[in-house]
Chains A and B, each alone.
Chain A
Amino acid sequence: RKEVEQDPGPFNVPEGATVAFNCTYSNSASQSFFWYRQDCRKEPKLLMSVYSSGNEDGRFTAQLNRASQYISLLIRDSKLSDSATYLCVVNRADSWGKFQFGAGTQVVVTP
């Protein structure tokens, strides 16, 4: 089983709609969770950290479910510019200084 698993998508979302997707992780001792956004052929950029109590940043909401070992990302009022691949990142079991990246969930927002 992979340490971090994501639905690859693509999630085709009409502009203005809401989309949500999850990421499961295998290490119950993980402490650091992040969502990154990666545009085609660009470097990953931090979208948001995921806090235990859940957190919101504008149209983006992240949740952590430790019992079921998954994190989620919800995007409200989708914009065309939200089209990207969203990477789930979790600190590794063998070293908290290292991270495991998911393969990413592709989101395509259509007019």
Chain B
Amino acid sequence: EADIYQTPRYLVIGTGKKITLECSQTMGHDKMYWYQQDPGMELHLIHYSYGVNSTEKGDLSSESTVSRIRTEHFPLTLESARPSHTSQYLCASSRGTSGSYNEQFFGPGTRLTVL
């Protein structure tokens, strides 16, 4: 089992609230990722980190921001939640080596509903 954790697992919140989705991994992986996935749809990369203090936006335009102050921790923040942010948010990490040992491990996800 992968050692990557996300909290909360479920969150229902009102429009305009600030929220932070937590993601932590204990595998010492350099690379971490945030994906957004709507039901029945594919995963879309919204944020990526190469390592501490290094982050970049992914493909899907997102109003969220991330930080990477420690290797193990990669929180995602929404300053003002809107109903369009309702989705599942999946955090992942990988060793970051090339080839077949580059697999990603996923956390259980946070299912966010904004009313």
Contacts of A103 in B (CB 8 A): 41-42
Q: Judge whether A98 and B45 touch: CB under 8 Å.
A: yes
Q: How far is B107's CA from A43's CA once the two chains are assembled, in angstroms? A: 7
Q: Nearest-CB distance from A33 to chain B (Å)? A: 8
Q: Judge whether A44 and B39 touch: CB under 8 Å.
A: no
How many A-B pairs with Cβ below 8 Å?
55
At the interface, is chain A mostly helix, strand, loop or mixed?
loop
Q: How far is B107's CA from A45's CA once the two chains are assembled, in angstroms? A: 9
Q: Nearest-CB distance from A7 to chain B (Å)? A: 14
- What residue in chain B is nearest A8 (Cβ atoms)? B40
| Segment 62-115 of B: residues with Cβ below 8 Å from A | 88, 90, 94, 96, 98-109, 111
- Contact (A96, B102) CB under 8 Å given A43-B90, A43-B107, A43-B109: yes
User: Counting chain A CB atoms within 10 Å of each CB, which of B50, B58, B98, B102 scores highest?
Assistant: B102
Tell me the A residues contacting B by CB distance below 8 Å. Answer: 31-34, 41-46, 49-51, 87, 89, 91, 96-99, 101-104
A-B contact pairs, 11 of them (CB 8 A): A33-B100, A43-B90, A43-B107, A44-B90, A45-B106, A50-B100, A97-B96, A97-B102, A98-B48, A99-B45, A101-B43
Tell me the B residues contacting A by CB distance below 8 Å. Answer: 31, 33, 39, 41-43, 45, 48, 50, 58, 88, 90, 94, 96, 98-109, 111
